[in-house]
A and B are shown apart, each in its own frame.
Chain A
Amino acid sequence: MKIFISGFGTVGQGFLETLLIKRPFLQKRYSEVVSVVGVMDSKSFDIDDKEVCGLCMLGNKISLGRCGHRDRNGLSGVEILDMVDYDLLVECTPTNVKDGGEGLKNITHALEKGKDVITVNKGPLALKFRELNDLAEKNGCNFRYEGSVGGAMPIINLCREGLVGQEIRSIRGIFNGTCNFILSRMDNGLPFEQALREAQQLGYAETDPTYDVMGIDSACKVTILANSIFGRDVTIKDVSITGISSVTDGAISLAADHGMVIRLIGEVSKDRLEVAPRLIPKGHPLSISGTLNAALITTDLAGPVTVSGRGAGRKETASAILSDLITIMDAKHHFKYMPSD
């Protein structure tokens, strides 16, 4: 299995590192070498028909701020992808919800060429979910995106595989750890601006926190869940979005007086697509504090199923990509799980 990693930020680096650590496990499971034959970031790239040096890439990124020793010199991602033979693209470029950015072009190109794709990039999924899935199906490619929602928290594969056969009636969840951190700090009496500054100082929030606090990041995830779990054909434009910037200290305090907290909740069902601050009773599975993500899945047979986990992070998101990779490789190798595995 030859892998190309596009995007070498926190997640791309985390995945490469994870792949190096898990290489013996993968070799034992499939008797096949899993190698990375290409890596690119916004400035540079490196390719090798057999394998690039993973540790060199990680070292370069830290010491030089670039992954490869070859400059992109205006080369597009698609042009670089065409320079080497690969089986699977792992797409980790930054999310762009305006036009999908380079990530959308890379994914489309790889699927057109019959390559399997794993992505954690929410932009292409929030804008062109149906088109990309149709393209994958037409060309017989695997297309997976577990890490695009909830990071390490399993939700898409849980609904599709673990809860298979059940009717998923609704999913409500906390899909943005930054907003949850800010609202949790407001529970402790901090005003919104101060809680946001603290989130930025701790590295939870971006310098421009608009995507997070305006609810756009959560809306991308709601769109992905609506399409992938509920079979809907929607884009982010169909989601009703209210962020948390208008949540006042007075509202937080009055909610607390009534035994409740306010949390930014994404909700998907057959007739609702929404991201909005909601009143949650203390002790409810969605009343969690800090940067965690959580989801409450309501099903016809199992009733409510709750999952929680770290919504972002280097190794956390890499774990979701690894899970998708293993699913793809299991299918290719007709792997049957034994307890000793």
Chain B
Amino acid sequence: MKNVITMKINADLYVKDVPGQLVSSLEPISSVDGNIVGVVHNREQSINGRIVVNVTFDVDPDQVDNLKKIWRSRDVIVAKLDSVVETFTMDYMLVGDLSASYIEELFGEASTEISFESIDIGYSSKTAKDTRTAMISVKVQKDDDLKKLDRFLSSACKKAGFVYIRGVRQ
């Protein structure tokens, strides 16, 4: 069996405000083996006799062009087609005699194995005991990457003698 990688897409479709058009706009998604996650349509807001249907679905990226052709053939106007990226966030805190360059190097090393969507770092000022706290918020696309990062940071902090505090999943 072919292992298909899907992407999540959010689309605004303008369909004629007549019976059967909503189904007609959604059917093509199933016909290309897409999986509809959510549909919102607002019948009160009509533009030139058309209403907007907002649909979110998972689909094989190779089928997107095919899908657009089918919609065009059915007189469905595609006003917006965005890929939706799901992200996982987690917060971490490192406490010790640390510097900004150390944290940057640490996350540089982590980036070789983990693909980050974003990394946001904040620091406290140094105390009399020469300790400083770094607060790091990360966004990743895969849940597994958070597990990898947890193992990486835990081990790095143990080696460096830093206190390692992580957040909780919501």
- Is the CB–CB distance between B168 and A251 below 8 Å? no
Given A254-B93, A255-B93, A248-B167 contact (CB < 8 Å)? no
Interface residues on A, range: 20 to 34
For B131, B137, B165, the residue with the greatest tally of chain A CB atoms inside 10 Å of its CB is B165
Assess whether B112 is interfacial by the CB under 8 Å rule: no
* Bound-complex Cα distance A284 to B169 (A): 11
- Is the CB–CB distance between B91 and A246 below 8 Å? no
Which B residues lie within 8 Å of A172 (CB)?
168
- Is the CB–CB distance between B163 and A247 below 8 Å? yes
- Is the CB–CB distance between B127 and A277 below 8 Å? no
- Is the CB–CB distance between A258 and B135 below 8 Å? yes
* Bound-complex Cα distance A248 to B95 (A): 8
* Bound-complex Cα distance A284 to B168 (A): 10
**Of the residues B124, B132, B163, B166, contact of A253 by C-beta under 8 Å:** B124
* Bound-complex Cα distance A52 to B137 (A): 61
Given A257-B122, A258-B91, A279-B166 contact (CB < 8 Å)? yes
Count contacts between A and B, CB distance < 8 Å: 70
- Is the CB–CB distance between B168 and A279 below 8 Å? yes
Which A residues lie within 8 Å of B129 (CB)?
248
For A251, A255, A258, A284, the residue with the greatest tally of chain B CB atoms inside 10 Å of its CB is A251
Which A residues lie within 8 Å of B56 (CB)?
none
Which A residues lie within 8 Å of B170 (CB)?
281, 284
- Is the CB–CB distance between B93 and A279 below 8 Å? yes
- Is the CB–CB distance between B167 and A279 below 8 Å? yes
Which B residues lie within 8 Å of A294 (CB)?
none
Assess whether B133 is interfacial by the CB under 8 Å rule: yes
**Of the residues B91, B127, B132, contact of A279 by C-beta under 8 Å:** B91
- Is the CB–CB distance between B165 and A254 below 8 Å? no
Q: Mostly helix, strand, loop or mixed at chain B's interface?
A: strand
Which A residues lie within 8 Å of B91 (CB)?
258, 260, 279
Mark out the residues of chain B between 96 and 133 whose CB falls within 8 Å of any chain A CB in the assembled complex. Answer: 122-125, 127, 129, 131-133
- Is the CB–CB distance between B133 and A279 below 8 Å? no
Mark out the residues of chain A between 224 and 258 whose CB falls within 8 Å of any chain B CB in the assembled complex. Answer: 242, 246-251, 253-255, 257-258
Given A257-B122, A258-B91, A260-B91, A250-B168 contact (CB < 8 Å)? no
- Is the CB–CB distance between A248 and B127 below 8 Å? yes
* Bound-complex Cα distance A308 to B131 (A): 34
Which B residues lie within 8 Å of A297 (CB)?
none
Assess whether A286 is interfacial by the CB under 8 Å rule: yes
Which B residues lie within 8 Å of A280 (CB)?
167-168
Given A254-B124, A258-B91, A278-B131 contact (CB < 8 Å)? no
* Bound-complex Cα distance A172 to B123 (A): 28
Which A residues lie within 8 Å of B135 (CB)?
254-255, 257-258
B91 to chain A, nearest CB (A): 5
Which A residues lie within 8 Å of B164 (CB)?
242
A253 to chain B, nearest CB (A): 7
- Is the CB–CB distance between A251 and B93 below 8 Å? yes
**Of the residues A246, A254, A276, contact of B122 by C-beta under 8 Å:** A254
* Bound-complex Cα distance A68 to B170 (A): 52
- Is the CB–CB distance between A251 and B95 below 8 Å? yes
The 5 closest A-B pairs by CB, nearest first: A279-B167, A250-B124, A246-B163, A250-B133, A251-B133
| A–B pairs, 15, beta carbons within 8 Å | A242-B164, A248-B131, A248-B163, A249-B127, A250-B95, A250-B125, A250-B133, A251-B165, A254-B122, A254-B123, A254-B133, A258-B137, A278-B168, A280-B168, A284-B168
Extra pairs beyond A250-B131, A279-B167 (19, CB < 8 Å): A246-B95, A246-B163, A250-B125, A250-B127, A250-B133, A251-B93, A251-B95, A254-B123, A254-B133, A254-B135, A255-B93, A255-B135, A265-B168, A276-B165, A278-B165, A279-B165, A279-B168, A280-B167, A284-B170
